[in-house]
Structure 1
Amino acid sequence: MPIEKTRPAAGIVHLGLGNFHRAHQAVYTAHAMTAEPGNWGIVGVASNSPRVVDALREQDLRYTVVELSPDGARFSVPAVHTDAYVAAREPERVVTDLAAATTRVVTLTVTEHGYHYSPRTGRLDVEDPTIVADLETLRRGAGAPRSGLGRIVAAVRRRGAEHATPLTVLSCDNLSGNGDHTGRLVREFAAELPDAEELLGFLEQRVTFPNSMVDRIVPATTDAERDLVAAGTGWADRIPVPAEPFSMWVLEDRFAAGRPAWDRAGAVLSDDVHAYEELKLRLLNGTHSLLAYLGALTGCPTIPDAAARSEIREAAHRVLREEYLPSVRVPDGVDVDRYERELFERWDNSALGHRCHQVGSDGSVKLRQRIPVPALEALDRGAVPHLLALTVAGYLTCLAPLGGFDPGPVAARMGDPVAERLREAARSCTGGSDLAALALTDFHLLGDDLAGREQFTRRVGELVDLLHTAGPAAATAEALAAPAPVLGETR
């Protein structure tokens, strides 16, 4: 395996040292510095878990990316991290590193619910206990904040006081308009502090928040990857990262203090990130959710297992083409037919074995990014998006089944920030219509606009009942047999 002997000086601090970062941004950065050397080493900061950090330190900050396909496995070792530590162990150090004049870019993969915003309003959740505590910490000027937003604002305060060096904060999470969203939340946090005027002025003049779209399927690590690396390289790597061969990164080129040559590593620089984001969040991620929930309820452990079932595969093709695609503005130069074929090739990658429970977790945050706009557009055309409704019904059945129903072991492994609240509500429900009304109308699970669309809520409830009484195959067949939405012009 190619292993570089030296590392560059750090110029990037990354919050969220999980598998995705190590198989995506770290790989692009390593390739970028091969093409154009620079001081763009990455200081990796894990939030709470020491597992990856401890292993990295024992392994001289090296790990293996294992690209898996039916053709076999390929190994690479991106030697790009200059240090790694756990924020919970060294909270003061996080702010120090973010505030350092040598830090020019902060990247984040903290998952959708790591941004501490209200799903209902999209604004900073000032009642979130972590945000409440961080605001109090920064008001007192003593101690270190615990949230990513709090740490960024604390660092901005220190940068303004000490050196005023510009900074870029780059979200790499699956959020609509992730740069705009992150910038708004940071400013809303800063606005709650006594020195808001100074903080907001610095943010306006010296900090940028580019939008980005990231795409690579990166499952959780298992012993199978550890065994592959040991057999293929002779190295007992404790923390290899499995990944598919495909990888894509689209970036707005708005960097306040420079960036690695990510474009020379294959990233796309575009002023139209939003169009790529729509394509990915709906066609890929939205369809992925349908595969995960129907697969879980059918007992399929992996996405390839789910995609191999004819009724689930047809539902995936149809939801993509008939219900998601009309809501998407396809970027110039993208061939939708080819994009669809590539998606199914990726989902068919049995060597990767992406787990349905992993894809289906955190659905309350993910579906809110994927379902409302295409559902509302279909409803406004006078049509019911049956397969979008089936996706939501599958989510509710996996996470909050009605009394006496067992959704199976795959669904049982799905996690979600509102799971307990939904399960508690489900105990009082007598049928699917009750559960759908509680989730969509009372809880506003998919936002305010969709909460008032009784036709969609009723359809979700009918499909919840079918999933419970007749099973996923019958519910899928019924949704497929219903009249397809009248297709609008693809934007």
Structure 2
Amino acid sequence: MHRRLSRSTVPESTLLSVAPPTATGIVHLGLGNFHRAHQAVYTATAAAGESHPWGILGVASRSATTARAMSEQDLLYSVVTISPDDERVSVPAVHTGALVAAYDPGAVIGAIGDAGTRIVTITVSENGYHYSAETGSLDLDSDAIRHDLANPAQPLTTIGHIAYGLALRADTHGAPVTVVSCDNLLANGRRTERLVREFIGALPDARRDRTLEWLDARATFPNSMVDRIVPASTDDHRAAAERRLGVHDAATVVAEPFSAWVLEDSFLAGRPAWERAGAVFTDDVEPYEMMKLRLLNGTHSLIAYLGALDGRATIPDAVAQPYIANAASAVLRLDYLPTVKVPDSVDIDSYTRDLFGRWSNTALGHRTSQVGSDGSVKLGQRVPAPALHHLAGGDLPHHLALTVAAYLCCVAPPPGFDPGPHARAMVDPAARQLGELSANTTSIPRFVRSIFESGRLFPRELAAHEPFVDRVAALADLIVRHGPAQACADADRATRN
């Protein structure tokens, strides 16, 4: 039996912060790999060598696996930073507890409402915010939100946990707090504030008014941009951590060397010195958000869908195919880049080269099925605005159309078409609905038209541009009949013409 990672067995040389936190100052919602390889690392690094009040209470949404593993290891875990040329292991000893919201929602509300909590951070993916893709407003008709409004002691959603936790603060001590979304949403702080306010606006009158008045003066929701590729951990990654640590870690996280965090500096109750760890504070996060959401995330999605359809298990395998690399370069440079205001501090040619270098990191093994999951929520953040920008100028963005076509072929393949095991492994909240629609629609053009006209995935404004909808259908038909390489060649020819 291997020794387990713990405070008594961890090699001190691997600890990012030797002194344990003196208090819980941060509640983090979403105890997944990304948080543990990103915000937790920044917090531990910022406090290296000194006692600090910025311990993190990690809250998993549903799965108890990570929370249980960390609890059995004195809340420790390792981060394996890996590239083809290097492998390093560190242990961010910064967590003070681990909860599972589905098991104890009252404890989550109580933690957010506690006077000692000064920051709430969030990484629950785009799918965790329960907003309408068409309006951007809170989806008050969703079963989960309806449940939360009717059951204030046992909410299911992240928005419900935050809203009731903030209401508790307003009802009791009134201490200020800052809520920081670290998910890939444009203007994520403003979006989170809007959704929380809309939830609170649906509460009974007295609590609604008291909480909204308190929010105006005592809560902030700064925008932020986060960036680090963090794939799912494998047995090989866990073995690498064990070799370096000399002990077994059941909660290993693996990540690329690159990491970035850009935030608005609007914290009412203090914050860690995250700039010591490389975070950037600015008054205008939006250009960084837009650049990341479109150039990195949007292109990443196309690579994932094409790669899966080509039978490629990983992003490096996918981008190594010349036709996929060419399509990725085209969507980035021709369709996304003209819609982005690049920050003055960024050399866009260097940034683009670095992106392809990061996607080519064969040591990570980032899976196409992981990157391609939740596309019904992700693509609504990435495709419509750039597409409408080009369409308004009289241009047809062929590779944005290709992105949508490849996505639909992966998650809702027409009858008789097998998209392959990696596409079938993608998880998507709309997969069942889209699959039924695909199975019951007599042609690909009618299926694609119904998707756009429904307004569920993309704003109906995009459906009014028939050439774009027709182009998505034509490219999807090419994928089904001749494969993704032929569809990419057709998009490339159309772009050059």
TM-score normalised by structure 2 residue count: 0.95
Q: Which of 112, 132, 137 lines up with 1:98 in the alignment?
A: 112
Equivalent in the alignment of 2:101: 87
* Equivalent residue letter for 1:475: A
Q: Is contact 2:178–2:267 with CA below 8 Å preserved after alignment?
A: yes
* Equivalent residue letter for 2:339: S
Q: Is contact 2:46–2:274 with CA below 8 Å preserved after alignment?
A: yes
Q: d(CA) in 2 for partners of 1:435 and 1:448?
A: 15
Q: Is contact 1:402–1:430 with CA below 8 Å preserved after alignment?
A: no
Equivalent in the alignment of 1:193: 203
How far did residue 2 of structure 1 move?
2.3
Equivalent in the alignment of 1:308: 320
Q: d(CA) in 2 for partners of 1:36 and 1:331?
A: 34
| Stretch deviating more after TM superposition (27-36 or 228-237) | 27-36
Q: Give 5+ residue unaligned stretches, structure 2.
A: 1-12
How far did residue 324 of structure 1 move?
0.3
Distance change (3 Å), C-alpha of 1:35 and 1:326: farther
Secondary structure of 1:146's aligned partner:
coil
Q: Is contact 2:99–2:108 with CA below 8 Å preserved after alignment?
A: no
User: Counterparts in 2 of 1:43-82, with a 5 A limit?
Assistant: 43-82=57-96
How far did residue 69 of structure 1 move?
0.1
Q: d(CA) in 2 for partners of 1:116 and 1:216?
A: 24
RMSD: 1.3
Q: Is contact 1:55–1:239 with CA below 8 Å preserved after alignment?
A: yes
Identity of aligned residues (%): 55
Secondary structure of 1:170's aligned partner:
strand
Q: Which of 418, 424, 438 lines up with 2:436 in the alignment?
A: 424
Equivalent in the alignment of 1:132: 146
Q: d(CA) in 2 for partners of 1:318 and 1:36?
A: 48
Describe the superposition over 1:370-410 as per-residue Cα deviations: whole angstroms up to 9, x where unpaired.
10111111111211111110010000000111110000000
Secondary structure of 2:48's aligned partner:
helix
Q: Is contact 1:35–1:261 with CA below 8 Å preserved after alignment?
A: no
Q: d(CA) in 2 for partners of 1:23 and 1:451?
A: 39
Paired residues, number:
481
Secondary structure of 2:155's aligned partner:
coil
Q: d(CA) in 2 for partners of 1:450 and 1:104?
A: 41
Whether 2:465 is the aligned partner of 1:449: answer no
Q: Which of 369, 384, 402 lines up with 1:372 in the alignment?
A: 384
Whether 2:163 is the aligned partner of 1:149: answer no
Q: Which of 27, 42, 52 lines up with 1:38 in the alignment?
A: 52
Q: Which of 118, 127, 144 lines up with 1:113 in the alignment?
A: 127
Equivalent in the alignment of 1:406: 418
Q: Is contact 2:30–2:59 with CA below 8 Å preserved after alignment?
A: yes
Q: d(CA) in 2 for partners of 1:65 and 1:484?
A: 44
Q: d(CA) in 2 for partners of 1:198 and 1:157?
A: 8
Equivalent in the alignment of 1:14: 28
Q: Is contact 1:432–1:460 with CA below 8 Å preserved after alignment?
A: no
Q: Is contact 1:291–1:307 with CA below 8 Å preserved after alignment?
A: yes
User: Counterparts in 2 of 1:200-279, with a 5 A limit?
Assistant: 200-279=212-291
Q: d(CA) in 2 for partners of 1:45 and 1:458?
A: 44
* Equivalent residue letter for 2:73: Q
Equivalent in the alignment of 1:464: 476
Q: d(CA) in 1 for partners of 2:337 and 2:314?
A: 25
* Equivalent residue letter for 1:70: P
How far did residue 443 of structure 1 move?
4.2
Whether 2:28 is the aligned partner of 1:27: answer no
Q: d(CA) in 1 for partners of 2:431 and 2:355?
A: 29
Whether 2:188 is the aligned partner of 1:178: answer yes
Q: Is contact 1:295–1:356 with CA below 8 Å preserved after alignment?
A: yes
How far did residue 442 of structure 1 move?
2.8
Describe the superposition over 1:423-444 as per-residue Cα deviations: whole angstroms up to 9, x where unpaired.
1011123332122111112344
Distance change (3 Å), C-alpha of 1:218 and 1:440: same
Secondary structure of 1:182's aligned partner:
helix
Q: d(CA) in 2 for partners of 1:73 and 1:176?
A: 33
Q: Is contact 1:69–1:245 with CA below 8 Å preserved after alignment?
A: yes
Q: d(CA) in 2 for partners of 1:484 and 1:206?
A: 54
Q: d(CA) in 2 for partners of 1:31 and 1:337?
A: 30
Distance change (3 Å), C-alpha of 1:204 and 1:35: farther
* Equivalent residue letter for 1:463: L
Describe the superposition over 1:341-388 as per-residue Cα deviations: whole angstroms up to 9, x where unpaired.
000000000001110000000001100111011111111121111111
How far did residue 35 of structure 1 move?
7.0
Secondary structure of 1:321's aligned partner:
helix
Describe the superposition over 1:85-106 as per-residue Cα deviations: whole angstroms up to 9, x where unpaired.
2122222111111111100000
How far did residue 36 of structure 1 move?
6.7
Q: Is contact 2:66–2:251 with CA below 8 Å preserved after alignment?
A: yes
Q: Which of 154, 168, 173 lines up with 1:158 in the alignment?
A: 168
Describe the superposition over 1:278-335 as per-residue Cα deviations: whole angstroms up to 9, x where unpaired.
0000000000011000000000000000110001101111111111000001111111
| Stretch deviating more after TM superposition (122-131 or 276-285) | 122-131
TM-score normalised by structure 1 residue count: 0.96
Q: Is contact 1:95–1:144 with CA below 8 Å preserved after alignment?
A: no
Secondary structure of 2:14's aligned partner:
coil
